[in-house]
A and B are shown apart, each in its own frame.
Chain A
């Protein structure tokens, strides 16, 4: 069923910009339209391009904010999330608790 929902209307998470739009909804209470516009502006694309795998794959690689396949030397986990913090201008708790708080 998650696959049916994802294919019927989902933003497709890491394949495109779904996680980024979800983060703006969750961190700033942005309604869908506002969240999409905010993310599109930060990434320098138009709203329709947010769900275009061809465009988003390249952007995600360039910004090093995590991609759906496991490519060597590309940011994953907390390092990808730290880059997302910078791109979107938000704080992510995992980076705070498990990265910055653990450094000297």
Chain B
């Protein structure tokens, strides 16, 4: 009896009730039956498909995802020949730095962080980023970033991006020069609120282009606009505009646009890029606009619902991402950090869930990279 129990634990399967160890969206371990996993997979894909008006996952894809989730191994991986290229966002500063949410606290320069990611963690691309990881605070210290980029380029071989967030929230009071549109809207000053967003878009676009002009002169391979759209449609518009301007100036530059969420929030509501209204765009629509602006890589970000199961979240995330992969004219590198892409929302996401989400994104959504 003891041997049987031990075997079940090792295999992750309770044979008596056909239960499987899996996770909730917050990472907590739960046990689900095969039927419960299927119910959640079907519900998750339905929610994603309804929201974005894209196709549900097929029955075969649901079967494949269930098989991945119910795999008794702790760690799962893709089949031989299905490997994808990995790009980074911010990870290389985590050896040392902490922003209040992560960081190992190992005293090490960013150069050492990058070289460790290149030669120890075997990443396919890496990136230099500032501790505040937003373009605005880089402006006063851009020369220091340029010095770092030069030294890093001289010591590394894989592509090195400069990564930062557009983070348009920093342009509103009390942090920035423009009135906070949320405060203005609460006071029914709608016109002023819209104008404040529009002014911030112009300012942010200018800043991002200026910072990247300096870093390109210092040998950067390109830029990773990370969490684009975090402050809504204005944030995304500034990113697309900066991307287009940089593409015109640097035809060979590598540009990656990674999103903040599955839908662009309409903080302004009427902003357009090349005739397309930005508010409410879903990943398959975002990808086409990023390509139009001149980006090389598009990174969808599908947020994890901590109150739902891993199966529900993964099915929903793969549904959005698969549609984006099918319609994108450029390679799709899906975001799969903490709390996005089906990965549970916690600082140390369980490896069983991370690798299952990884395999599903590669083998079902068909991503070009992660």
Binding site for B on A (CB under 8 A): 1-15, 18-19, 21-23, 25-27, 29-32, 35, 47-48, 51, 65-66, 68-69, 76-78, 80-81, 84, 90-94, 96-98
Q: Are A97 and B85 in contact (CB under 8 A)?
A: no
A-B contact pairs, 19 of them (CB 8 A): A4-B351, A5-B354, A9-B78, A9-B82, A9-B84, A13-B123, A14-B119, A18-B83, A19-B125, A22-B86, A25-B368, A26-B159, A26-B256, A29-B329, A29-B330, A51-B81, A69-B119, A93-B252, A93-B253
Q: Chain B's nearest CB lies how many Å from the CB of A88?
A: 12
Q: Are B296 and A8 in contact (CB under 8 A)?
A: no
Majority secondary structure of chain B interface residues (helix, strand, loop or mixed): loop
- In the bound complex, CA of A18 to CA of B154 (Å): 19
B122 at the interface (CB under 8 A from A): yes
Q: Chain B's nearest CB lies how many Å from the CB of A93?
A: 6
Which of B87, B118, B252 interacts with A14 by CB under 8 Å?
B118
When distances are taken between beta carbons in the complex, the residues of chain A under 8 Å from B118 are: 13-14
Q: Are A84 and B296 in contact (CB under 8 A)?
A: no
Q: Are B338 and A1 in contact (CB under 8 A)?
A: yes
Which of A3, A21, A27, A94 interacts with B85 by CB under 8 Å?
A21
Which of A26, A77, A97 interacts with B222 by CB under 8 Å?
A26
Q: Chain B's nearest CB lies how many Å from the CB of A100?
A: 11
- In the bound complex, CA of A47 to CA of B83 (Å): 11
Q: Are B221 and A94 in contact (CB under 8 A)?
A: yes
- In the bound complex, CA of A5 to CA of B369 (Å): 10
Majority secondary structure of chain A interface residues (helix, strand, loop or mixed): helix
Q: Are B219 and A8 in contact (CB under 8 A)?
A: no
When distances are taken between beta carbons in the complex, the residues of chain A under 8 Å from B86 are: 2, 5-6, 9-11, 13, 18, 22
Q: Are B83 and A9 in contact (CB under 8 A)?
A: yes
Q: Chain B's nearest CB lies how many Å from the CB of A95?
A: 8
Q: How many residues of B contact A (CB 8 A)?
A: 63
Q: Are A14 and B157 in contact (CB under 8 A)?
A: yes
Closest to B81 in A: A48
Binding site for A on B (CB under 8 A): 75-78, 80-88, 91, 117-119, 121-125, 150, 153-160, 216-222, 250, 252-254, 256, 291, 296-297, 329-331, 336-338, 349, 351, 354-355, 358-359, 362, 367-370
Q: Are B124 and A18 in contact (CB under 8 A)?
A: yes
Q: Are A27 and B252 in contact (CB under 8 A)?
A: yes
- In the bound complex, CA of A68 to CA of B119 (Å): 5
Q: Are B125 and A8 in contact (CB under 8 A)?
A: no
When distances are taken between beta carbons in the complex, the residues of chain A under 8 Å from B222 are: 26, 93
- In the bound complex, CA of A23 to CA of B118 (Å): 14
When distances are taken between beta carbons in the complex, the residues of chain B under 8 Å from A13 are: 86, 118, 122-124, 158
Closest to A21 in B: B85
Q: Chain A's nearest CB lies how many Å from the CB of B310?
A: 15
When distances are taken between beta carbons in the complex, the residues of chain B under 8 Å from A84 are: 157
Which of A2, A10, A29, A94 interacts with B296 by CB under 8 Å?
A29
Which of B121, B150, B330, B359 interacts with A98 by CB under 8 Å?
B150
Q: Are B153 and A94 in contact (CB under 8 A)?
A: yes
When distances are taken between beta carbons in the complex, the residues of chain A under 8 Å from B297 are: 25-26
- In the bound complex, CA of A80 to CA of B159 (Å): 12
Which of B82, B83, B122 interacts with A68 by CB under 8 Å?
B122
Q: Are B122 and A10 in contact (CB under 8 A)?
A: yes
Q: Chain B's nearest CB lies how many Å from the CB of A53?
A: 10
Q: Are B337 and A1 in contact (CB under 8 A)?
A: yes
Q: Chain A's nearest CB lies how many Å from the CB of B325?
A: 9
Which of B121, B154, B331 interacts with A77 by CB under 8 Å?
B154
- In the bound complex, CA of A14 to CA of B250 (Å): 26
- In the bound complex, CA of A7 to CA of B367 (Å): 16
When distances are taken between beta carbons in the complex, the residues of chain A under 8 Å from B76 are: 8
